[in-house]
């Protein structure tokens, strides 16, 4: 089970890399545009920050088959850690089939139904990214859609990994783990919230207070 940060904010990314908690990163054109940085600069910074054995998802912006192929091959050639994100369209899935046969790892993004996910698996994608929060936003059952995907992929032993995206809460992450997804990608805030429990803080305070009051000294060499 892998945890990715869903962000293009290099300060956030650095903090989670420093905590050794993330296995990879997902970005998209919206997140990249919010940084105010030139895209090549941003990508270079991400390559420098992310660990050697991590996964870096970068998205194409072309929408036709030839254009997607060309951008995907370029992104993939930049660094061995790159997985190319391609939107779930007929042209995108056709490109996915071609790129996958070349050994390029593809993450099909903007997936909102189990039937799209079936086509994604048949196109040979490395990851499929259901956008759970956006389904919830329109009063649909995002987690239920992912449950169907897990069942379908299990039924047919598809190798495409399910990447639970558009996370809106730690509860989403908990549900994703119970369903058995392969990856969750979350904003910085919710990964940090996963560490929290008031009893941890209370217990630690008590340990330290008791130690201090005992007058003990810690072991030295």
> What secondary structure does DSSP assign to the chain, as a single string?
-EEEEE---HHHHHHHHHTT--SEEE--HHHHHHT-S-HHHHHHHHHHHS-TT-EEEEE----SHHHHHHHHHHHHHH-TTEEEEEESSHHHHHHHHHHHHTT--EEEEEE-SHHHHHHHHHTT-SEEEEBHHHHHHTT--HHHHHHHHHHHHHHHT--PEEEEBS--SHHHHHHHHHHT-SEEEE-HHHHHHHT--HHHHHHHHHHHHHHHHHT------
Contacts of 75 (CB under 8 A, 6+ apart): 58, 60, 82, 84
Among 5, 6, 142, 173, binds ligand G3P (CB under 6 A): 6
* Selected range binding ligand G3P among 58-66, 129-137, 139-147, 174-182, rule: CB under 6 A: 129-137
Tell me the β-bridge partners of 4: 24, 185
Interface with ligand G3P, residue 28, by CB under 6 A = yes
Residue 56 contacts residue 79 (beta carbons within 8 Å): yes
Q: In the bound complex, what is the minimum distance in angstroms from residue 101's beta carbon to ligand G3P?
A: 25
Residue from 15, 17, 35, 133 touching ligand G3P (CB under 6 A): that is 133
Of 177 and 208, nearer to ligand G3P (C-beta) is: 177
Candidate list 20, 37, 85, 122, residue with the active-site label: 85
> Residue 141 or 201: which CB sits closer to ligand G3P?
141
User: From the CB of 184, what's the least distance to ligand G3P, in Å?
Assistant: 10
Residue 15 falls in the annotated catalytic set = no
From candidates 12, 13, 16, 26, binder to ligand G3P by CB under 6 A:
26
Give the shortest CB-201-to-ligand G3P separation in angstroms. 29
Does position 166 bind ligand G3P by CB under 6 A? Answer: yes
Q: Exactly one of 93, 145, 149, 165 binds ligand G3P (CB under 6 A); which one?
A: 165
Q: Does 32 bind ligand G3P (CB under 6 A)?
A: no
Using CB under 6 A as the binding rule, whether residue 185 contacts ligand G3P is answered as yes
Q: Which residues pair with 109 in a beta bridge?
A: 87
Q: Using the rule CB under 6 A, which residue among 134, 144, 150, 182 binds ligand G3P?
A: 134
> Which of residues 10 and 70 has its CB atom nearest to ligand G3P in the complex?
10
Chain contacts with ligand G3P (rule: CB under 6 A): 6, 26, 28, 131, 133-134, 165-166, 185
């Amino acid at each position: 089970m892998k945890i990715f940060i869903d962000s293009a904010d290099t300060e956030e990314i650095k903090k989670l890399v420093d905590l050794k908690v993330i296995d990879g990163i997902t970005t998209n054109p919206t997140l990249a545009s919010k940084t105010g940085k030139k895209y090549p600069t941003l990508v270079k910074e991400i390559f420098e920050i992310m660990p050697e054995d991590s996964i870096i998802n970068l998205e194409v912006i072309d929408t036709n088959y030839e254009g997607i192929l060309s951008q995907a091959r370029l992104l993939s050639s930049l660094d061995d850690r790159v997985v190319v994100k391609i939107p779930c369209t007929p042209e995108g899935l056709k490109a996915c089939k071609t790129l996958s046969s070349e050994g390029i790892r593809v993450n099909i993004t903007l997936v909102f139904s189990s039937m799209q996910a079936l086509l994604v698996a048949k196109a040979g994608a490395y990851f499929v990214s259901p956008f759970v929060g956006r389904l919830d936003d329109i009063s649909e059952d995002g987690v239920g859609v992912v449950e169907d995907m897990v069942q379908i992929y299990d039924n047919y032993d598809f190798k495409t990994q399910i990447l639970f995206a558009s996370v809106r809460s730690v509860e989403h992450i908990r549900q994703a783990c119970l369903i058995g997804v392969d990856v969750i990608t979350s904003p910085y805030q919710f990964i940090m919230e996963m560490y929290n429990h008031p009893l941890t803080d209370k217990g630690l305070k008590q340990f330290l207070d008791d130690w201090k009051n005992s007058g003990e000294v810690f072991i030295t060499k």
